[in-house]
Amino acid sequence: MEFNLDLMKKIGIIGGLSAESSVEYYKILIKEYNRRVGGAASPLLIIDSLNLGEVVELMKKDNWDEVFRIIHQSATNLEKAGAEVIIIATNTIHKVFDRVESEITTPMISILDVTAEAAKSLNLKKVGLLGTIFTMQSDFYHKAFQKHNIEIIVPNPEDQEFVNKVIFDELTYHILTPESKAGYIEIIWRLRDEGAEGVILGCTEIPLLIQQDDCPIPVFDTTTLHALAALEYALK
């Protein structure tokens, strides 16, 4: 199959938050592009990899203005490098997505909007959210889903601590244990018992541990949804 690479928009990825999920984005984009095009084809990508440790410390201090500055600078770097569409390869940092999007000229694709559309397509009215403490205790996911009349529910405080600890102590280092997997599945069952009709894997590392076959309700793999949405846009 012949394909003109000049027709594809160059994808810019704000990555490193963590490196594990950035690798997954890279693999998904390459695999899907190659599946469509064939041969030795691979997509046009630029990754600006940031320091996760620095950003996490800023989030702990609730210094979102400085987080915004770092992400905005990264987006600007990608613009200068020729990116024609930009994605932030992490959920939590979407807390500053709207601010960044309003300050640059290159189109951006939100992981929140992509995931909300996926839930809407299944006619769901209530979904559970797993993610970092910063994501589960913030309202940016709630606001994005309210536009589609979908309610977000989160685990109880104890379960939130467990989900967050596994993310930062294990998943960011690609440590995958049966115990953590079982713990996540138990939490998903509890969310289901509270009325969740689906569950958002709202941290881009969680799909390393949890897949659809593990769960009693539809799972929304934000990493895959976001990466494929970026590719669709780039190929328009």
Q: Which residues carry out catalysis?
A: 90, 203
The CA distance from 197 to 188, in Å, is 10
The CA distance from 200 to 180, in Å, is 17
- Closest by Cα among 236, 193, 235, 176 to 41: 235
Q: Are 234 and 9 in contact (CB under 8 A)?
A: yes
Q: Are 35 and 231 in contact (CB under 8 A)?
A: no
- Closest by Cα among 236, 229, 235 to 111: 229
Burial of 198: CB neighbours in 10 Å, binned 0-12, 13-18, 19+: buried
The SS3 call for residue 190 is helix
Q: In this structure, what are the phi and psi dihedrals at residue 204, rounded to the nearest 5 degrees?
A: -70, -5
Residue with the two structure tokens 């987006």: 75
- Closest by Cα among 159, 141, 161, 160 to 151: 141
